[in-house]
Amino acid sequence: MHAAPAFPHLAGYYVISLRPAGAHSGLRREAARLGARTFALSPWRIAHLDDAGTRDALRHALAADVVIFTSPPSVAAASMLQTLVACDTQSWLAVGAGTATALERAGIVGVRAPARMDSEGLLSLPELADVQGRSVGLVTAPGGRGVIAQTLSDAGADLRRADVYARVPTPPSPTRIARLMALPAPWLLPLSSGEALQRTFDTLPPEAVARLREARVLAASARLADLARDAGFARIEQATDARPASLLAAASPDHPAS
């Protein structure tokens, strides 16, 4: 755990969290350590899937030559369906450090994650350099990370996809939107999911979207920084990855300009 800084440089800021419902604690703790407050604006909640089709798809995916998990929720959902066990001949990959840690806690040893914690970083790993004719299990959820499945399929992989959880939309209530509009500036918007941003835009009234665009975006990757720019944000910083500490570090006065 990082000690609180002597001079919290985010004092007075509001961090707008687009994490799933119930998943704001890590970002909230880091924001508080730096002196900021957090406002949860979840575009969805996580629902684990548990049916015969999902279980069959998961078993098939976990038997592949290469097994990929795309998020900590994918690890949690899969672990509830069956015990995760890796064979010596398999490679287990994670999109980022958080997912790798979740797999290690589930008992998987030797998980590989890229230094660049996004889809492009994952696809650059040597285990995925030549997937022609090889089986690749993708444990994920509908929507998001579409570039992974498409790229692997185009490269000739035998793709075995298992959607083990779903993102259930949670549109903000009028009261929640009013509270958002009443928050004083300045705002920070950590961005680790383009889909989360789009769903948020789709559910907010125009005046709230315009206000949100005034936030300073802390993007987890160059792709997300470009997406934020295309979405009309003017102030964008690029973080090193999607972990809460990394995202908020991008707001530091010492952070290199993007």
Task: Give the Å distances, CA to CA, from 103 to 47, 113, 243.
Answer: 19, 11, 16
List, for residues 26-69, the tens digit of each pLDDT value: 999 999 999 999 999 999 999 999 999 999 999 999 999 999 99
List, for residues 83-128, the tens digit of each pLDDT value: 999 999 999 999 988 899 999 999 999 999 998 878 888 999 999 9
Please give the radius of gyration of the chain, using alpha carbons only, rounded to the nearest integer: 19
> Which residues have CB under 8 Å from 213's CB, separation 6+?
231, 232, 233, 234
- Res. 8 pLDDT band, cuts 50 70 90: confident
Class of domain 14-43+171-249: alpha beta
User: Does CATH number 3.40.50.10090 belong to domain 47-167?
Assistant: yes
- Give the pLDDT mean for 171-186: 97
Residue 144 has pLDDT above 50, yes or no: yes
List, for residues 208-244, the tens digit of each pLDDT value: 999 999 999 999 988 899 999 999 999 999 998 888 9
User: How many separate helices (H) and strands (E) can be counted in the chain?
Assistant: 11, 11
Task: Give the Å distances, CA to CA, from 184 to 39, 180, 215, 237.
Answer: 11, 9, 11, 21
pTM above 0.75, yes or no: yes
Domain ranges of the chain: 14-43+171-249, 47-167
Q: Identical fold at 14-43+171-249 and 47-167?
A: yes
Among residues 120, 102, 121, which one has the least CA distance to residue 111?
A: 102
